[in-house]
Amino acid sequence: MDKMKRMKELVKILKEASKAYYQEDREIISNFEYDKLYDELVQLEKETGVVLAGSPTISVGYEALDELPKEAHESPMLSLDKTKDVEELRAFIGEQKSLLSWKLDGLTIVLTYRDGKLMKAVTRGNGTVGEVITGNAKVFKNIPLHIAYQGELVLRGEAIITYSDFEKINKQIEDVDAKYKNPRNLCSGSVRQLNNEITAKRNVNFYAFSLVKAEGVDFYNSREKQFCWLKEQGFDVVEYRVVTGKTLDEAMNYFAKQVSQNDFPSDGLVVLYDDIAYGESLGSTAKFPRNAFAFKWKDEIRETTLKEIEWSASRTGLINPVAIFEPVELEGTTVSRASVHNISIMKELELGIGDKIQVYKANMIIPQIAENLTRSGNLNIPKICPVCKKEARIIKTNEVEALYCMNDECQAKKIKAFTLFVSRDAMNIDGLSEATLEKFILKGFIKDFGDIFEIEKHKDKILSMEGFGQKSYDNLILSLEKAKHTTLPRVLYSLGIANIGLANAKLICKAFQYDIEKMIVAKEEEISRIEGIGPVIAKTYTEYFADEEKLKKFRHLLSHLKLEEVKKEENSVLEGKQFVITGSVTHFANRAELKEEIEKRGGKVTGSVTSKTHYLINNDTTSNSSKNKKAKELGIAILSEDDFIKMAGI
Q: Which residues are catalytic?
A: 103
Which alpha helices (H) appear in 68-172, and where do they start and end? 86-93, 134-137, 163-171
Spatial CA neighbour of 232 closest among 251, 211, 262: 211
Count CA atoms closer than 13 A to 397's CA, side-chain side: 10
Residue type, 16: E
Rounded-to-integer distance, Cα 230 and Cα 472, Å: 50
Q: Which helix (H) or strand (E) holds 473?
A: helix 470-483
CA-based torsion, 255, 260, 263, 264: positive or negative: positive
DSSP state of 299: P
Spatial neighbors of 74 by CB under 8 A, at least 6 apart, are: 154, 212, 213
Q: Is 318 helix (H, G, I), strand (E, B) or coil?
A: strand
- Which secondary-structure segment (H or E) carries 272? strand 266-273
What span, in angstroms and rounded, lies between the C-alpha atoms of 36 and 478?
Answer: 56
Q: Which among 224, 209, 165 is positioned nearest to 190, based on CA atoms? A: 165
The amino acid present at 598, given as its one-letter code, is: I
Strands (E), 347-461: 356-362, 366-372, 392-397, 400-405
Residue 224 sits at φ, ψ, to 5 deg, of -65, -40
Q: Cα–Cα distance between 421 and 560 in angstroms, integer?
A: 14
Reference 370, options 32, 37, 40; nearest CA is: 32
Give me the helix-helix angle, 535-546 and 548-558, nearest 10°.
80
Residue 31: how many other CB atoms lie within 10 Å: 20
Label residue 29 exposed, middle or buried (CB < 10 Å: 0-12, 13-18, 19+).
buried
CB 184 within 8 A of CB 106: yes
Beta bridge mates, 403: 319, 394
Neighbours of 343 (CB within 10 A): 20
Q: Give residues with Cβ within 8 angstroms of 474, minimum separation 6.
A: none
Contact criterion met (CB below 8 Å) for 79 and 127? yes
